[in-house]
Structure 1
């Protein structure tokens, strides 16, 4: 997970946008869910500039396109 700096090999990663997250979602929460689909390279949860709360969405980056596609199929519509 990168906290303010890009992970290695970022140019070859595939990014998925994850919507409708609670404002308390952490990178660890995302990791426990998405690691089942493949090797996760990075998470990014945009935060409000003033309150530092999550904006309710995140980006999950996978090293392999097939893993990202598996995650998309497995997580689409999931709560």
Structure 2
């Protein structure tokens, strides 16, 4: 994946997967979750400064039923020695990385 964002994400069901180790990769998650259906995108947010995983991910399914099946099957399952917490994502993946507000730099006298 290029890191520029997933193509055509409209209509996909997004799951938030919490309690990941820092070494879990997108490929690891895709391999585990695609047992439940066609995975459209896997995204692991990185810390802006260290570039390390923030310990959670988003897994998107093309079909809502597949996503729900994966959520029920994977919530509480062990992966890399951790108990996963899987739920429907409340917020979508941001389109662009957040920018600094710049408020203090614009308030010059």
TM above 0.5, yes or no, is: yes
Length-normalised TM-score, structure 2: 0.68
How many residues align? The count is 78
TM-superposed CA distance for 1:57, in Å, is 0.2
In structure 2, how many angstroms separate the alpha carbons of the residues matched to 1:77 and 1:57? 14
Structure with larger RCO (C-alpha < 8 A, sep 6+): 1
2:42 aligned residue = 43
Write the deviation string for residues 4-54 of structure 1: whole angstroms up to 9, x where unpaired: 223333111010000000001111100110010100000110001111110
Greater mean deviation of Cα atoms: 3-12 or 64-73: 3-12
Greater mean deviation of Cα atoms: 54-63 or 44-53: 44-53
Greater fraction helix? 1
Q: Which runs of 5+ in 2 are unaligned?
A: 79-109
In structure 2, how many angstroms separate the alpha carbons of the residues matched to 1:42 and 1:55? 18
Q: Which runs of 5+ in 1 are unaligned?
A: none
Length-normalised TM-score, structure 1: 0.91
Could you list the runs of 4 or more consecutive aligned residues of structure 1 that deviate by over 4 angstroms after TM superposition?
none
Instruction: Quote the RMSD (CA, aligned, Å).
Output: 1.1
TM-superposed CA distance for 1:3, in Å, is 3.3
Determine which structure has more spread, i.e. the larger CA radius of gyration: 2
